[in-house]
Chain A
Amino acid sequence: MQPTHSSRRILQPVRPWFILFTLLVAMTLNAVPFGRFPGFPDWAALTLAFWCVREPLKVGMLTAFTVGILMDVIDGAVMGQHALAYVLLAYFAGQLSRRVLWFGLLQQSLHILPLLLLSQVAMVITRLMAGAVFPGWWYFAGCFLAAMLWTPLNYLLLLPQFRPVERDDNRPI
Chain B
Amino acid sequence: MASVAGHGPPPFFKRGPAPLARLLTLLIVCLVLLIADLRYRYLEVLRQAVSVVTYPIQMAAYGPVELARNVSTYFSSVKALTTENAELTRKQVEVAGRLLRQDGIEQENLRLRALLDMKAQQPVSGIVAEILYNTRDTFSRRVILNKGMQHGIDTGQAVVDDVGVIGQVTRSYPLQAEVTLLTDKDQAVPVQVTRNALRAVMFGAGNGQLELRFLAANADVQVGDTVVTSGLDGIFLPGLPVAKVVRIDRDSSYTFARILCQAAAGIEQHRTVLVLGNREPLPQVPQEAPVRDVPAKTKKGRR
Complex interface: chain A residues within 8 A of B135 (CB) = 75-76
Q: How far is the CA of A35 from the CA of B32 in the complex (A)?
A: 31
Q: How far is the CA of A163 from the CA of B34 in the complex (A)?
A: 44
Chain B nearest CB from A85 CB (Å) reads 9
Q: B134 and A78: CB pair below 8 A?
A: no
Residues of B within 8 Å of A, CB-based: how many?
A: 50
Chain B CB within 8 A of A108 CB: no
Of the candidates A68, A87, A139, which one forms a contact with B138 in the assembled complex, judged by CB atoms under 8 Å apart?
A139
Chain B CB within 8 A of A74 CB: yes
Q: How far is the CA of A75 from the CA of B58 in the complex (A)?
A: 9
Complex interface: chain A residues within 8 A of B60 (CB) = 28, 31
Chain B CB within 8 A of A48 CB: no
Of the candidates A27, A35, A75, A126, which one forms a contact with B34 in the assembled complex, judged by CB atoms under 8 Å apart?
A126
Q: Which A50-87 residues sit within 8 Å CB-CB of chain B?
A: 57, 60-62, 65, 68-70, 73-81, 83-84, 87
Complex interface: chain B residues within 8 A of A33 (CB) = 61-62, 65, 132-134, 136
Q: A131 and B61: CB pair below 8 A?
A: no
Complex interface: chain B residues within 8 A of A24 (CB) = 57
> Contacts A84-B30, A87-B27, A91-B23; is A78 near B57 (CB within 8 Å)?
no
Q: B6 and A28: CB pair below 8 A?
A: no
Q: How far is the CA of A133 from the CA of B46 in the complex (A)?
A: 26
Complex interface: chain B residues within 8 A of A79 (CB) = 33-34, 36-37, 43, 46-47
Complex interface: chain A residues within 8 A of B139 (CB) = 77, 127, 132-133, 135
Q: How far is the CA of A163 from the CA of B165 in the complex (A)?
A: 60
Q: Choose the segment among B48-56, B96-104, B222-230, B242-250 that binds chain A (4+ C-beta atoms closer than 8 Å).
A: B48-56
Chain B CB within 8 A of A94 CB: yes
The interface residues of chain B, by DSSP majority, are classed as helix
Total A-B contacts with CB atoms under 8 angstroms apart: 136
What is the chain B residue whose CB lies nearest that of A42?
B136
**Most chain B Cβ neighbours within 10 Å, of A35, A132, A139:** A132
Chain B CB within 8 A of A104 CB: no
Chain B CB within 8 A of A22 CB: no
Complex interface: chain A residues within 8 A of B37 (CB) = 78-80
Chain A CB within 8 A of B178 CB: yes
What is the chain A residue whose CB lies nearest that of B64?
A32
Q: A130 and B38: CB pair below 8 A?
A: yes
Chain B CB within 8 A of A151 CB: no
Chain A CB within 8 A of B5 CB: yes
Chain B nearest CB from A101 CB (Å) reads 12
Chain A CB within 8 A of B186 CB: yes
Chain A CB within 8 A of B112 CB: no
Of the candidates A13, A69, A76, which one forms a contact with B137 in the assembled complex, judged by CB atoms under 8 Å apart?
A76
Q: B8 and A2: CB pair below 8 A?
A: no
> Contacts A2-B6, A29-B61, A35-B134; is A73 near B50 (CB within 8 Å)?
yes
Q: How far is the CA of A79 from the CA of B23 in the complex (A)?
A: 18
Chain B CB within 8 A of A38 CB: yes
Complex interface: chain A residues within 8 A of B171 (CB) = 76
Q: How far is the CA of A131 from the CA of B31 in the complex (A)?
A: 16
Chain B nearest CB from A43 CB (Å) reads 11
Given contact pairs A32-B61, A126-B34, A133-B139, a sample of 16 additional A-B residue pairs in the complex whose CB atoms are under 8 Å apart: A1-B6, A27-B57, A30-B61, A33-B132, A36-B138, A60-B22, A73-B51, A76-B136, A77-B137, A81-B34, A83-B26, A83-B29, A83-B30, A87-B26, A91-B22, A95-B19
A selection of 26 A-B contacts at a CB cut-off of 8 Å is: A13-B6, A24-B57, A28-B61, A29-B61, A31-B58, A31-B60, A32-B65, A33-B62, A34-B136, A61-B23, A65-B26, A65-B30, A70-B53, A73-B51, A74-B136, A76-B137, A76-B171, A78-B37, A79-B36, A80-B30, A84-B27, A84-B30, A84-B31, A87-B30, A94-B19, A130-B38
Q: Which B residues fall within an 8 A CB radius of A?
A: 2, 5-8, 19, 22-23, 26-27, 29-34, 36-38, 43, 46-47, 50-51, 53-54, 57-58, 60-62, 64-65, 132-140, 142, 144, 171, 178, 185-186, 206, 268
Q: Which A residues fall within an 8 A CB radius of B?
A: 1-3, 11, 13, 24, 27-36, 38, 57, 60-62, 65, 68-70, 73-81, 83-84, 87-88, 91, 94-95, 126-127, 130-133, 135, 139
The 9 closest A-B pairs by CB, nearest first: A33-B133, A80-B33, A31-B61, A132-B139, A1-B6, A133-B206, A79-B37, A84-B30, A38-B138
